[in-house]
């Protein structure tokens, strides 16, 4: 149970334990969250909109239902935030910019599932427009800042969600990952961020998120919290372009020992010309030694990475163009976004479909590493979190080049579709978090959750960023 002297930084599991035991009401949990947002967010810029009135009303309804004897859901009374690209009823789905102005008429399916599980949406979070680049900066929202060092980026594109969770504004939040956008901000902010298997979480009302690249999921401060949220939101609906294979409960996976695994590690970057910072190389080697001590068969491997470029770039442009075409006010898009739209005009439906066929080939080649390993261990990102403003004055091409160190280990697994997680390793001498990436085989989230929970228990990390 949470230290009573620090009542505002409960995990998801601690919040549910308190609300179901009757020692904390949903309204009190939400009020604590809203108070922390009001106190901390002014110089962090994690929140794009706070939905205080609706959140309090929803919390009161949960408390009334509980008093009437109705059973509590698995996320009863948990305050959550939602990335701007996901529909929340009554709020404008901005995609990080100003090109939409009409509030969403209904929740996205994953938000509906969160509410059905008892969670309370307290607001939406900042992102770069369309999540095109892995740094949370935009013309309309400004810079979102890393809570460990406010001169640095929290990464992106789910940077607002990462900051809200890392500071304890909420126990968990929803992000999206089309090229590392859950894992990169998790690595920068000291969180656990699992990109699930492609098709694990419905994208409804949309049939896909950047075609084969994107999926949605939670950013949390613990592995178990991630499993709790995933068990509430995973699954498909008719119309989803992709579906994942069957797995058991993620919560059960996070609770059990992983057994002795074959773990291959490598610090080789997928992106040519990118070198990992020595801090990240040490983190991988230290984690490999820890995993050896935990009884696993750990050895350095050559992953023989395929080049994902021909599959990734057309879908990147197709994703931006699809989302831009759905905006109410195209002229209000940022200059860089409109440039990306023009640069992507060559991605016709025929080219996009060709890229999707390339995706299948890349996936088959990427999966070769799992013939001899159960899990792949790599750096999560190549660079230390850079100063805010890294995208200032840059167009599409220069912004893409500036993004390479962030996505160097992440984007391949969006193309391949495999589950991959950013796992915190503590703090470096620069005061910023360090992380490694764990990649699993197809439909391998259970093994990643079991292994990550084992590492978390052996090597606890700071759960809340300093104020």
Residues belonging to the active site:
83, 157, 181
- Paired tokens of 255: 């609770």
Q: Are strands 142-143 and 137-138 parallel, antiparallel or unpaired?
A: antiparallel
Q: Kindly give, in sequence order, each residue whose CB lies less than 8 Å from that of residue 402, ignoring residues fewer than 6 positions away.
A: 133, 135, 390, 391, 394
What single DSSP character describes residue 219? Answer: E
What are the backbone angles phi and psi of residue 42, rounded to the nearest 5°? -55, -40
Q: Which residue has the tokens 């992709």?
A: 242
- Paired tokens of 170: 């909420």
The alpha-carbon radius of gyration of the chain (Å, integer) is 20
Tell me how crowded residue 207 is: count the other CB atoms within 10 A of its CB.
Answer: 12
What single DSSP character describes residue 206? Answer: S
- Paired tokens of 305: 């990475």
C-alpha to C-alpha distance for 11 and 2, rounded to whole angstroms: 8
- Paired tokens of 10: 């409960």
C-alpha to C-alpha distance for 223 and 460, rounded to whole angstroms: 11
- Paired tokens of 443: 């439909």
- Paired tokens of 235: 């699954």
Name the residue among 314, 308, 311 with its Cα closest to residue 346: 314
Tell me how crowded residue 57 is: count the other CB atoms within 10 A of its CB.
Answer: 14
Q: Please compute, for residue 145, the number of CA atoms within 13 A of its CA located in the half-sphere on the CB side.
A: 12
Name the residue among 280, 381, 27, 8 with its Cα closest to residue 164: 8
Q: Please compute, for residue 288, the number of CA atoms within 13 A of its CA located in the half-sphere on the CB side.
A: 19
CA 133 remoteness from chain centre? 14
- Paired tokens of 406: 């962030």
Residue spans of alpha helices (H) in 170-308: 183-189, 223-233, 250-255, 278-293
Contact (Cβ atoms closer than 8 angstroms) between residue 403 and residue 156: no
Q: Kindly give, in sequence order, each residue whose CB lies less than 8 Å from that of residue 300, ignoring residues fewer than 6 positions away.
A: 264, 265, 266, 288
């Amino acid at each position: 149970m949470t230290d009573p002297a620090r009542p505002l930084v409960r995990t998801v599991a601690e919040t549910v334990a308190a609300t179901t035991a009757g020692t904390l009401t949903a309204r009190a949990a939400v009020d604590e969250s809203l108070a922390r947002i009001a106190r901390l967010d002014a110089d962090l810029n994690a929140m794009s909109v706070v939905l205080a009135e609706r959140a309090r009303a929803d919390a009161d309804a949960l408390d009334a239902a509980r008093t009437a004897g109705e059973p509590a859901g698995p996320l009863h009374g948990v305050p959550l935030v939602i990335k701007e690209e996901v529909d929340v009823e009554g709020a404008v789905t901005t995609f990080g910019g100003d090109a939409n102005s009409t509030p969403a008429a209904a929740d996205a399916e994953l938000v509906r599932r969160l509410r059905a599980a008892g969670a309370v949406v307290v607001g939406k979070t900042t992102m770069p427009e369309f999540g095109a680049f892995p740094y949370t900066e935009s013309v309309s929202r400004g810079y979102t800042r890393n809570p460990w060092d406010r001169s640095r980026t929290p990464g992106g594109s789910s940077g607002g969600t990462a900051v809200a969770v890392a500071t304890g504004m909420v126990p968990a939040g929803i992000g999206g990952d089309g090229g590392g956008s859950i894992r990169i901000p998790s690595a920068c902010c000291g969180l656990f961020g699992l990109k699930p298997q492609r098709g694990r979480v419905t994208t409804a009302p949309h049939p896909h998120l950047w075609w084969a690249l994107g999926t949605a999921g939670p950013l949390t401060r613990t592995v178990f919290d991630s499993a709790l949220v995933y068990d509430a939101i995973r699954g498909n609906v008719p119309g989803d372009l992709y579906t994942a294979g069957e797995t058991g409960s993620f919560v059960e996976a996070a609770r059990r020992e992983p057994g002795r695994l074959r773990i291959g590690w490598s610090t080789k970057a997928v992106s040519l010309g990118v070198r990992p910072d020595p801090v990240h190389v040490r983190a991988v080697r230290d984690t490999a030694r820890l995993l050896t001590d935990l009884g696993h068969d750990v050895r350095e491997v050559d992953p023989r990475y395929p080049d994902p470029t021909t599959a990734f770039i057309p879908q990147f442009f197709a994703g931006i163009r699809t989302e831009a075409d759905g905006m109410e006010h195209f002229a209000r898009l940022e200059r860089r976004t409109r440039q990306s739209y023009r640069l992507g005009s060559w991605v016709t439906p025929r080219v996009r479909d060709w890229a999707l066929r390339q995706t299948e080939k890349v996936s088959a080649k990427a999966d070769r590493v799992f013939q001899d390993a159960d899990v792949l261990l790599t750096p999560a990102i190549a660079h230390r979190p850079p100063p805010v403003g890294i995208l200032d004055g840059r167009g599409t091409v220069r912004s893409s080049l500036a993004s390479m160190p962030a996505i160097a280990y992440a984007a391949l697994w969006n193309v391949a579709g495999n589950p991959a997680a950013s796992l915190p390793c503590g703090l470096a001498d620069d005061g910023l978090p360090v992380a490694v990436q764990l990649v699993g085989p197809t439909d391998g989230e259970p093994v990643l959750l079991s292994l990550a929970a084992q590492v978390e228990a052996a090597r606890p990390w700071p759960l809340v960023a300093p104020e």
